[in-house]
Amino acid sequence: MTEKTRKNPKRKSPASKKSPPTATGNNGLRPGQVLSDDCREVVANSVRHILNAVGEDPSRNGLADTPDRVARMYDELLQGYNVDPEQLLNNALFDVEYDQMVVVKDIEFYSMCEHHMIPFFGYAHVGYLPDTQVIGLSKIPRLVDMFARRLQVQERMTHQVATFLEDLVKPLGVGVVVEATHLCAVMRGVKKHHTRMITSAMLGDFRSNVSTREEFMAHIRHGGSPGL
């Protein structure tokens, strides 16, 4: 981008070209905004096309504002793309002499299946075995949300939560179990209403030590977890 633009009356300068809409980046996005204003308009117009395609009248009462509502909705559903991990942490790592397992369970989450762009939702259970530091309690649910509020597949989300926590806290081990209902298998496709998917990621002692893993699973089951 350091190359000088030659003066040519028949050629527009790069500054005069309109950049294509992008979902992220320095495009004048306001705090919490995932889509630029140009992208919102693209999404809204696409929704209008869908409404027309299914035989609806996008201008009728009840649907007139729907395209804009859908465009704004994605800022909330996909806000994980704009979370700054350093701001998420906010210096919430503490030197504590504690060598027993820490478990935060029944963390509700909502995500979007990247294959059909409809929700999957459920509970995440996160545990780690501290070495020299512990992380603030509220940061673990926020960490789950950071990866859930994206276009996702459950397997990848589970792995991302585990590896991020491992890199962040440097514990002796990490365990993550995620259980979810996928609307792509409930309201369409096979239409199995009671089907739940369970994924896990075990790192460090949680993977190599059977008793550590069993203790983690026992903590999840204790007290009547909504899922397991």
Catalytic site residue 179? no
Residues of the chain with pLDDT under 50: 1-26
Predicted local distance difference test score (pLDDT) of residue 30: 75
The kind and range of the H/E element at 59 are none
- Count of domains observed in the chain: 2
Of 53, 77, 101, the one marking the end of a domain is 77
Tell me if 160 is assigned to some domain.
Answer: yes
33, 152, 154, 160: the catalytic one is: 154
pLDDT value, residue 89:
86
Q: E-strand spans in the chain?
A: 93-95, 102-113, 119-129, 133-135, 151-152, 173-182, 197-204
Active site residue 3: no
- Predicted structure pTM score: 0.82
- Same domain for 43 and 139? no
Residue 28 main-chain phi, psi, to 5 deg: 70, 25
> Does residue 5 form part of some domain?
no
Domain containing residue 68 = 37-77
Q: Are the C-beta atoms of residues 72 and 91 closer than 8 Å to each other? A: no
Among residues 115, 155, 214, 222, the one annotated as catalytic is 115
Catalytic residue list contains 114: yes
| Residues contacting 95, CB < 8 A, separation 6+ | 132, 133
> What is the structure's pLDDT at 222?
82
- Domain boundary, last residue among 77, 100, 130: 77
Q: Which of 113, 125, 152, 215 is the catalytic position?
A: 113
Question: Do 46 and 132 reside in the same domain of the chain?
Answer: no
Q: Which of 125, 159, 182, 219 is catalytic?
A: 182
Tell me what pLDDT residue 228 has.
65
Active site residue 115: yes
How far apart (Å, rounded) are the C-alpha atoms in residues 60 and 42?
A: 20
Q: Could you confirm whether 182 is annotated as catalytic?
A: yes
